[in-house]
Structure 1
Amino acid sequence: MASNSSTAVNHGQRLPETSSRCSTEIFTAAHNFELDNYPLLDDMGADKYVSSSVFTVGGYDWTIRFYPDGDGNQKNCGGNVSAFLYCSSQANNVKTKFSLNLLEKKGKIGLTKYGLLEHTFSPPTYDFGYPEFFEKSRLRSSPEFKTGCFIIRCVLTVTKEPRTEEIKRNLTVVPQPNLQDHLQQMLKDGQGADVTFSVSGRLLNAHRYLLAARSPVFKAELFGPMKEKETQTIIEIDDIEPSVFEALLHFVYTDSLLLDDEHNKQDRVAKFQHLLVAADRYGLERLRLLCESKLCVDIDMDTVAVSLALAEQHHCKDLKEACVQFMAPRNVLQAVMATDGFKHLVESCPFPPLLMKDILDEVSHVLNGYEHFQASGHPMYDGTVTTNLNAAFIDRDGGGRRRAAGGRLAKRGRAPPMYIISTTSTVETTSEAMLMEK
């Protein structure tokens, strides 16, 4: 009954909660104790030692004590040198792991190879080590004995006592930055707006200081020598779609793309194509790159021609490369040439010769080795695609000019350019033919 009552009381409520943490710290360090002129220490006398300087590890002071004739207080140390680690702090219950080894002067050759010793230093004794550290006879016969230089190296790890502490919970929850949300709401509400754009008849309000801070073009239009007249309350924009300009303003205020509500891929791509042009026009480099990355992903037969033209006009290197690579295979290039987008592109925005050369260069990489297939009469390499491609561009001003171009090429004894390009001469032929028609 009591259990059910307790459950009912606590049901739906958050229980009081506290936390604590147990932590154990360890500290490790090394100390080298150099013994110079060792022969002068020989026969120093039992129970007599030399000491290193004090070094600190884990908050405790330590020294190395070396007995050249052994520690007389230890049994069975006759004929040996002794070495001990001494706790100069004389603390209680100090847990350690350490090693003591004898090295030659340069520290590269170890005369001993002792492992780790585990010891807890407590009263009444504060030293621990090796009564029989090394035989004196072997030490005297060592080549290093004449130079009299040795090193005692100590590697010491001190483990501190476990410590438990309360974990203080920070009950203050700092929210995520929301400046973008506030600016987006300011754009939506239009409160304090001091400039209005009429975009194809649709009115969009904005704040001129924010526009100027984000775009050098807006800054020049609103505050520079080319600023609109003070009496002009509405700025007319007739060459940008309202939805595109709205997306541009959204980026200006939030530094992010307006979420796509376009379910049709072609409509979405067209929107990014228009937005890329607007971004370039207003000097919004990050927005231009965002649009470029979106267009690189959505390349297909129907959109590649327009995207390639935009890439060339607005210096989008990655988009241009992606479009050219997409068009390179023979069957793809033929299909692209048959689209309305490509035909419109040829009529309204002809490719410059250098872009034509880039396309043909990429074609040559995709289908290299054409000479072998051409010699064998392979139908894949009949020259149809590039001949048609050249004709499409040469014929953009009318059939008469195309025929004139064909006549000039024929008089010079040149064959129609091949689709597969293995030498620069064919590329130059294509480019030259295009230049002749300008």
Structure 2
Amino acid sequence: MSDLLRLATAGSVDDGKSTLVGRLLYDTKSVLADQLDAVHRASVDKGLSTPDLSLLVDGLRSEREQGITIDVAYRYFATPRRTFVLADTPGHVQYTRNTVTGASTAQLAILLVDARKGVVEQTRRHAAVLALLGVPRLVLAVNKIDLVDYDHGTFEVIAKEFATHAGNLGYAADAVLAVPVSALVGDNVVEHSERTPWYTGPTLLEHLETVPAQEDPHAAPFRFPVQYVIRPRTPEHPDYRGYAGQIAAGTVRPGDEVVVLPSGARTRVTRVDTPDGELTEAAAGASVTLLLADDLDISRGDLIAAGIDRPEVTDEIDATLAWLADKPLRAGARVLVKHGARTVQAIVGELRTRFDEQQLSTVDGPESLELNEIGQVTLRTSEPVPVDDYRTHGRTGAFLVIDPADGTTLAAGLVGAPLPVLERD
């Protein structure tokens, strides 16, 4: 089991997300003493008898009131069993792009609902975006269970409705867990609650500590975007030629047969170097330098991949874009596509569909994509790019769309990812 879990939170406004995150930080003793003192003082000033744990998360409220945009807050906490990186995203409808940003690297997402309201439109919207991004596991935190008198029937109705919705989005039953919680008083967040004897599953923290964090890195095909070509040209290393970068997927060993893309040249790995010496094996996430058997023309931006199950090399990318810019996207626009370490020119071809967030359906042939909208498009690149399907290779199936005029990021792109909708217009 990995000792690091990346997770994201999502939910509607006032569902208690800040209190839940504050509860996790508080109960795992991940709060500095001066922060806790400040929360106690502020809670007393508000006339509260117990600390308002949402203040641990909403400490930047004054900055919000001053008009400063806060996109995604990353929070860190740990238990003896695991370390967590939590992306806390805003709950407002207009911040869909923030959900995309926060969930893009998440291995699990916690969706909050108010037990009094159940699954609402924003719950369905967030679940659809999480499914689009390929977040593998969901937790439905049915919060404020104390405000419905810890009613088992209410929880069951909400859990079953969400399970059906998640199933329609492609989630397997064992990838979704519903937990009845009260973030305010701590029911089933860290400790089991005596007030919900009918709930026999794990607490929220128990689930976070034990859920598998990632797939076996040995199972994924090898992917290695080249960041630097190293040629020291020193008397000690007159013929050294290495290719440095971080392994995006899979594993590599000396002797492995690989293909260099987009050229298609095949060769063999002879050495895996690090600053601390040679390795007999390196897996996803490791930064290494590869030495190859043949002297090939390889440069920054090329992809070294497993000889079998290799990426597709194409100059026409069908992808889903989450549009993040104020100016709309229209067919014919000239952009840059940044995929790994490679940046190429591209023209936006057809805008095929747009995700209608209100109806959770798709609209065919839209004229444009506006800020925060998600749609499927075709991009024609100036040179071939090796890409994977995002659903099976997240790192090499994702890319950025950049404005060639000023270098700003316009969109996050997912190769081949279908829009997760339940019906069509």
Task: Name which one, 1 or 2, has greater alpha-carbon Rg.
Answer: 1
* TM superposition score normalised by structure 2: 0.22
* TM superposition score normalised by structure 1: 0.21
The answer to which structure, 1 or 2, has the higher relative contact order (CA under 8 A, 6+ apart) is 2
Structure number having the greater strand percentage? 2
